[in-house]
Amino acid sequence: MTSQKVVCLGAGIVGGCTQVVFASKCKTHDFYVVDIDEERIKGWNNFKPNYYEPGLNKLLKTCLNKNLFFTTDFENTLKDATLIFLSVGTPTKQRGEMKGIGTNLSYIESCCRMIAKYAKNEKVIVIEKSTVPVGTAQKITNFLQEYNKNETENEKENENETTKENKKKQKQIVVLSNPEFLAEGTAIKNLQHPDRVLIGGPNTEFGKYAQEQLKQLYKGWVPEEKIFFSNTWSTELSKLTSNAMLAQRVSSINSISQICEEIGAEVTQVSKNMGSDPRIGSRFLNASVGFGGSCFEKDILNLIYLCEHYHLYVVAKYWKSVLELNNHQKLRFAKNIADTMFQNLENKKITILGFTFKKNTDDVRGSAAIDVCNYLLGEGAILSIYDPKAKPKHIKLSLKGYNENQLIICDSVSNAVIDSHALVVLTEWDEFTQIDLSKCYQKMIHPSYIFDGRNIINRKSAQKIGFNIYSVGFPKNK
């Protein structure tokens, strides 16, 4: 494969991590990441990405300014690009029709305009890496082709020998779908050892050529049998349904956890028993306070929107129930804290262990901790929050309707538990499994409680020390 100039629009976690891995595996190609955020680009160039991801910095040092470059110069970077990735945000709409369920594609549109304006290669291959609604590739194709058509027609007014020659070299445009399946906290590992790589494109001569070009890039480290071709619609839908199915498993086991609490079963035993069936498998069967993050809910909302667009209302209702169960689980967990503590949290200090939506990330977007903490604050509690990676400013911006004296951000577990009535575990950080519960108990107000939203605290040890412990999916009276 001849040397390629690969450009990625968007320097967030998807764009940044993807291109770092590409650059580390494909030394003969040059990779450029472009973003309008100057501070973000400055951070990358100083080995300080604006988010935490295990293994990222170590890998970045092997390729930055060698065959990997970060810049804000769209024009000069795009003009001779051979492959162009779209890795910008696609948040849920906050206004207008389909508010709260549809996808805001304004960043995608801005990228399309830049590609149309600055990309000068005769063969323009655009690759969707962002998670987008089904049909977005066709919308991008239509936009770029229309722009190219108008540009060609405008040239006719000043036609000369040069433009006549250019007419013979009409720009070819194709848009591929190549969804990401990385998970925050394991993004580098996911990219280095993918379960599969999906490449969707049109069934045309140039479409097949473009798919092959992208495949050759991945073959630098991915076994060919893990690279799948399909049509664009199938690939776009596969991304949404993959996340929807994972979220569905979480909500399913959480629904079972509620039954366990009432009848005396233990959800960890039920999960193990079910998961030993190879038809079911054990992954994503850990009961918890609920799923979070920026992907699961957004992708299910995309799926709901698609179903309703095609009048598949029963199907839409099914997927809505996955989100409803997740919201119910978070509220049920939070209410149990209040109910257990005399239905009175006014001015009671409660220690929150973990605020990110999962371990090994600093991302708090959509975290279950947000809903739980907002409920506790609304009941008048004072929250003492410790998370090893979440930025204090992001914690404060995520919460609402509280007085300043209700929120304390701490730098350690030992400081967070002083004069606290309860420990509430909301993120499964490894260090929380190693907490010295005896020392915590000595610093707390008695009776002392543990509400374990991730089932990582040893119940018997906690009870022996003197704690009253509530774990998701365990009998309330044991």
Alpha helices by DSSP H, listed for 379-473, are 392-398, 413-416, 437-443, 459-465
Averaged pLDDT, 308-333: 98
Is residue 226 located within the same domain as residue 254?
Answer: no
Cβ count near 201 (within 10 Å): 26
- Provide the pLDDT for residue 168: 47
Look at residue 54 and tell me if it is in a domain.
yes
- Provide the pLDDT for residue 97: 84
CATH of residue 254: 3.40.50.720
- Provide the pLDDT for residue 476: 77
Please list, residue by residue across 73-106, b when 16 or more beta carbons sit within 10 angstroms of its beta carbon and e when fewer do.
ebeebbeebbbbbbbbebebbeeeebeebbbbbe
Domains in the chain, number: 2
- Domain end, chosen from 230, 260, 280, is at 230
* 3-class secondary structure, 66: coil
pLDDT per position as a tens digit, 139-149: 999 999 998 87
Is residue 303 located within the same domain as residue 211?
Answer: no
Burial label, 46 (beta-carbon count in 10 A; 0-12, 13-18, 19+): exposed
Averaged pLDDT, 168-179: 85
Is residue 274 located within the same domain as residue 223?
Answer: no
* pLDDT > 70: percent of the chain: 95
CA 222/CA 195 separation, integer angstroms: 9
Is residue 299 located within the same domain as residue 425?
Answer: yes
Look at residue 132 and tell me if it is in a domain.
yes
Whether the per-residue pLDDT at 157 is higher than 80: the answer is no
Whether the per-residue pLDDT at 322 is higher than 80: the answer is yes
Averaged pLDDT, 357-363: 97
- Provide the pLDDT for residue 169: 57
- Residues with Cβ < 8 Å from 96, sequence gap 6 or more? none
Is residue 195 located within the same domain as residue 299?
Answer: no
Is residue 399 located within the same domain as residue 433?
Answer: yes
Look at residue 236 and tell me if it is in a domain.
no
Whether the per-residue pLDDT at 369 is higher than 70: the answer is yes
To the nearest whole number, what is the mean pLDDT of the chain?
94
Whether the per-residue pLDDT at 100 is higher than 50: the answer is yes
Look at residue 443 and tell me if it is in a domain.
yes
Whether the per-residue pLDDT at 414 is higher than 70: the answer is yes
CA 128/CA 87 separation, integer angstroms: 7
Is residue 72 located within the same domain as residue 198?
Answer: yes
**Active-site residue 295, yes or no?**
yes
Look at residue 239 and tell me if it is in a domain.
no
pLDDT per position as a tens digit, 186-230: 999 999 999 999 999 999 999 999 999 999 999 999 999 999 999
Whether the per-residue pLDDT at 128 is higher than 50: the answer is yes
Whether the per-residue pLDDT at 162 is higher than 60: the answer is no
Band of pLDDT at residue 171, cut at 50, 70 and 90 = confident
Is residue 321 located within the same domain as residue 419?
Answer: yes
- Provide the pLDDT for residue 156: 56
| Residue span of the structural domain in which 290 resides | 247-471
Is residue 217 located within the same domain as residue 276?
Answer: no
Look at residue 188 and tell me if it is in a domain.
yes
Look at residue 221 and tell me if it is in a domain.
yes
Averaged pLDDT, 271-291: 97
- Provide the pLDDT for residue 167: 52
**Long-range pairs for 117-121: beta carbons < 8 A, 24 or more residues apart:** 117/75, 118/74, 118/75, 118/78, 118/79, 119/78, 119/79, 119/81, 119/84, 120/79, 120/80, 121/80, 121/81, 121/82, 121/171
Band of pLDDT at residue 363, cut at 50, 70 and 90 = very high
- More confident: 158 or 174: 174
Averaged pLDDT, 422-439: 98
- Provide the pLDDT for residue 160: 59
CA 478/CA 47 separation, integer angstroms: 50
Is residue 22 located within the same domain as residue 85?
Answer: yes
Cβ count near 63 (within 10 Å): 20
Maximum Cα–Cα distance across the chain: 89
Look at residue 222 and tell me if it is in a domain.
yes
Is residue 289 located within the same domain as residue 336?
Answer: yes
Q: Of the listed 26, 63, 111, 295, which one is catalytic?
A: 295
Band of pLDDT at residue 3, cut at 50, 70 and 90 = confident
* pLDDT > 90: percent of the chain: 91
Is residue 19 located within the same domain as residue 46?
Answer: yes
- Provide the pLDDT for residue 278: 97
Whether the per-residue pLDDT at 7 is higher than 70: the answer is yes
